[in-house]
Homo-oligomer: A and B are copies of this chain.
């Protein structure tokens, strides 16, 4: 089940600079490209003549030409030329999806185009702000349902067990999580005072002693996560709003469903320390990729378990409160969307 009236990240901006991008999103085949003047375009990736993916064709100016019989589509999805004949048959068109380029990503709207509202894209201003340095992650293709990604990021107690060498340590689980309802989602907060810094943070910033560490994750529908994490010297006021020095950064993540059991994860790391340190850039690229791949292994193993038994007897624990809350909100939103669609059909 997917929320259709929502923005998902379809691609990095520089992916469509390099040519046509074919990607299945919410089980629909999509082809993405960039117009010569810059704007992104997303069309159904299937010629309406003989079903060849349009991504096997080529871009001609603003338009896309099918690689089989040369039919040409404009950015609205309208077929505007059929080689060898003067007219275009009625019905010669494919679906076009609203797309917006923002925060270095191409966002796509998979639902009713009339409802596409760009204010629903999260305000992740760090991605374009000069005081923040952004390190891009690769597109992760995960053999797992997209909601497992939100579960994973909302519950950072797993750092202790999954990422013991990099981000985890025993201090984390000793402190409880707090769950707050926010607009469109849920905030999880955990404050870890006066503890040893985790290995990766210690590498970035040689702390002399203990640190105050924060983990604040805002998960909003359908599958956005803003992970605000970091630490500063213990007792310098991080928990009272004074984050002085140390390691402050965001991990921004969008899980875009490919199918019911696979997804793409797009992630980036804007940071506000050591902006010009290319070694830290490299560490973010390499070490966090390793961390994310540890999570991918976990999520793919979960998916295989759920494939075998989708609803096994199971328990919840305290740290699940935020992820259960956001799953509930998503389920409600999907139900509301379906009810609305039914109502629309009834009145049609």
Contact = CB atoms under 8 A, between A and B. Distances in A.
Interface stretch (A35-43, A50-58, A221-229): A50-58
Interface string A131-161: 0000000000000000000010001011011
A176 B85 CA distance: 9
Interface string A80-92: 0011110001111
Interface stretch (A67-75, A120-128, A209-217): A67-75
**Most chain B CB inside 10 Å of its own CB: which residue of A83, A306, A316:** A83
Contacts of A158: 68-69
Given A56-B297, A84-B319, A91-B315, 8 more contacts: A46-B312, A51-B312, A53-B305, A67-B161, A79-B315, A82-B317, A83-B160, A84-B318
Given A50-B151, A157-B83, A160-B83, A69 B317 contact: yes
A161 B91 contact: no
A329 B65 CA distance: 31
Contacts of A21: none
15 contacts: A29-B305, A46-B305, A49-B316, A50-B151, A52-B298, A52-B301, A52-B302, A67-B161, A67-B298, A68-B158, A69-B158, A70-B173, A84-B176, A84-B317, A90-B315
Interface of A: 29, 46, 48-53, 56-57, 65-71, 79, 82-85, 89-92, 151, 155, 157-158, 160-162, 173-174, 176, 297-298, 301-302, 304-306, 308-309, 312-319
A68 B79 CA distance: 50
